[in-house]
């Protein structure tokens, strides 16, 4: 199988290697999960929110996803931090509108991050009502999954 080297923008490469705001948050006001059941990819987002202004003071996130998800998570977290929850919701709704016309393999990684943010918003609202349970949103788009063990074959050829 021939390998093609596609140049990666240095900014995106840096975000893959050192994603902004990546990590776990011990004390948070909201926590949400975005999940792709087809691939098993998941993103968790933690938020610290000012209770009066609803400004997102701090954001952390983690994923078991691919490089594109790392870049998406870093870029989304930069966009959300310092904004109100409502601004974050509006940004996320714009993302959902823009990605729906893209091929699933191009949209799924951004969608899983956006879904995690929306789940965190649901969690924040539920906590204000005294409810505590995990909030998970599932992606509607998905990357194609290789058939016939293509991933395993690719890995074993490199070993």
Question: pLDDT of 131-143, one tens digit each?
Answer: 988 999 998 877 6
Half-sphere exposure of 120 (CA within 13 A, CB side): 32
| Domains of the chain: total | 1
The reply to whether 7 falls in a domain is no
Q: What's the rounded mean pLDDT across residues 101-128? A: 90
Beta bridge partners of 31: 46
The reply to whether 1 falls in a domain is no
Residue 153 has pLDDT above 60, yes or no: no
The reply to whether 91 falls in a domain is yes
Q: What is the DSSP string of 42-64?
A: EEEEEEEE-TTT-BEEEEEEEES
The reply to whether 2 falls in a domain is no
The reply to whether 158 falls in a domain is no
Residue 107 has pLDDT above 90, yes or no: no
The reply to whether 106 falls in a domain is yes
The reply to whether 41 falls in a domain is yes
The reply to whether 150 falls in a domain is no
Q: What's the rounded mean pLDDT across residues 96-124? A: 88
Query: Which CATH number fits the domain that encloses residue 53?
Result: 3.90.1010.10
pLDDT at 148: 45
Tell whether pTM > 0.95: no
**Helix, strand, or coil (residue 32):** strand
Two structure tokens written together for 8: 């990666």
pLDDT in tens, 31-76: 999 999 988 999 999 999 999 999 999 999 999 998 889 999 999 9
Determine the structural domain holding residue 93 and report its residue range.
Answer: 15-144
Residue 125 has pLDDT above 50, yes or no: yes
């Amino acid at each position: 199988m021939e390998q093609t080297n596609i140049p990666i923008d240095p900014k995106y490469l840096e975000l893959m290697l050192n994603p902004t705001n990546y990590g776990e948050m011990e004390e948070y006001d909201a926590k949400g999960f975005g999940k792709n059941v087809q691939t098993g990819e998941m993103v968790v987002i933690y938020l610290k929110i000012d209770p009066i202004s609803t400004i997102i003071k701090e954001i952390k996130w983690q994923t078991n996803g691919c490089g594109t998800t790392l870049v998406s998570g870093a870029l989304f977290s930069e966009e959300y931090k310092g904004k109100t929850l409502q601004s974050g919701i509006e940004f996320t709704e714009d993302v959902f509108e823009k990605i729906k016309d893209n091929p699933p393999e191009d949209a799924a990684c951004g969608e899983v991050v956006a879904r995690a943010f929306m789940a965190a918003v649901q969690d924040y609202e539920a906590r204000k009502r005294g409810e505590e349970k995990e909030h998970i949103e599932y992606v509607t788009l998905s990357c194609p999954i290789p058939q016939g063990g293509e991933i395993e074959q690719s890995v074993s050829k490199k070993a």
